[in-house]
Amino acid sequence: MSVYKHEYRAYSGRVTPLWTRVVVLARYGFAEVWSSKITVGLFTLSMLPVIVFLIGIYLANNPVARLIIMRGNPQVLTIDAAYFLKVLETQSWLALVLSAWIAPRLVTFDLADNALPILLSHPISRVGYVLGKFIALFASLSLVTWIPCLLLFAYQGYSSSQPWAVANIPLAGGIMAGAVIWITLLSILGLALSSWVKWRVVATGLIFAAIFVPAGVGGIVSAILRTKWGFLLNLPVIMSELWQRLLGAPEVRWPDQYIPNAAIAGVLILICVVSVAMLNARIRAREVVRG
């Protein structure tokens, strides 16, 4: 029926499967996020280090460049686990900046205009709603973390004269795992914190605060009590530890400050569980019109 015929007609066409509703949420969330010029700007900025690292790999594998710039000394620029650790760390912290901008856009528009009662009156559950938003955020952060990291890995494998890629497959796995753990954490934390504040700017600040304020508190606890366990509040430190171990890069901390893997996993799981509980409480409270 054409739009000029102003008569109601029942719908008798095909209906999509229930699971695809999550994809609809993710797709609209993704489109919403990338409709912002600031998101595009931040993404562009996030790609600048990738270009620098790409040039680094090119130089390290180009005999002429090695001869001219490094004067034949391969120690100046070696493409190994430490190099990819730098790549992963750089991209991961840029992902934090991007998530602090993106996560509030995904949630606060729905909450500010009280859209949840309408959204959730459709065949989509609370879990489905959060999953849709999570996928949109996770996919956006993937674009600046594991995808460029693995592309650099692939380029190094292609450029290297030796069978480098095959010998370093565990490194690629470590990059992937490290990035996925980090952006999963960022996505859940970002959505949870964004759901609790009305203004996007405040939500952005809150995401940074949630990472760095406990880190400061952890540092104080460690210094005063002379214990390494204060570092468990320091997300940047424990993520650096985790990335080093996943990539097999040399450890840079003192042995007496070694944090066990179980403790790191426990902290990360705890953050995720608390974030999910926060999200559930907030969405449950807003899903119906009270009255």
Partner 1 sequence: MGVIDLDRLEVQLGGRTVLDGLTGELRGNAIGLLGPNGAGKSTLINTLLGFHTPSRGSARVFGLDACRDRASIRQRIGYMPENDSFIGNMSGVRFVRYMAELAGLPAGEALERAHEALFYVGLGEVRYRKVNTYSLGMKQLIKLAQALAHGPRLLILDEPTNGLDPMARQRMIQVIKEIRKEGSIRLLISSHLLRDIDETCDEVLILKNGRVAALCNIEAERRSHRNFIELETVGATNEFCESLRGQGCECACFPDGRVKLVMPDQIEARDLYVIAAEKGIQIRRIHLRRDSLEDIFLRAMDNERARGELVSL
Question: Binding residues for partner 1, per CB under 8 A?
Answer: 1, 3-16, 18, 21, 24-25, 28, 109-110, 112-125, 287-291
The secondary structure of the chain in percent helix, strand, coil, rounded to multiples of 5, reads 75, 0, 25
| Helix/strand/coil for 164 | helix
Give the nearer residue to partner 1 in terms of CB position, either 107 or 176. Answer: 107
Tell me which residue of 14, 11, 31 sits closest to 23, measured CA to CA.
Answer: 31
> Measured from the CB of residue 22, what is the shortest distance to partner 1 in angstroms?
10
> Measured from the CB of residue 245, what is the shortest distance to partner 1 in angstroms?
42
> Measured from the CB of residue 38, what is the shortest distance to partner 1 in angstroms?
14
Give the nearer residue to partner 1 in terms of CB position, either 19 or 254. Answer: 19
Give the nearer residue to partner 1 in terms of CB position, either 7 or 256. Answer: 7
Report the alpha-carbon distance of residue 219 to residue 235 in Å, rounded: 11
Which residue do the tokens 């600031």 mark? 38
> Measured from the CB of residue 108, what is the shortest distance to partner 1 in angstroms?
10
The secondary structure of 202-235 as a DSSP string is: HHHHHHHHHHHHHHHHHHHHHHHHT-GGGGGG-H
Give the nearer residue to partner 1 in terms of CB position, either 80 or 287. Answer: 287
> Measured from the CB of residue 204, what is the shortest distance to partner 1 in angstroms?
17
Give the nearer residue to partner 1 in terms of CB position, either 112 or 252. Answer: 112
> Measured from the CB of residue 46, what is the shortest distance to partner 1 in angstroms?
24
Which residue do the tokens 């807003």 mark? 286
Give the nearer residue to partner 1 in terms of CB position, either 16 or 261. Answer: 16
The secondary structure of 94-150 as a DSSP string is: HHHHHHHHHHHHHHHHHHHTT-HHHHTTSS--HHHHHHHHHHHHHHHHHTTTHHHHH
Q: Calculate the dihedral angle through the C-alpha atoms of 219, 223, 228, 230, rounding to the nearest 10 degrees.
A: -40
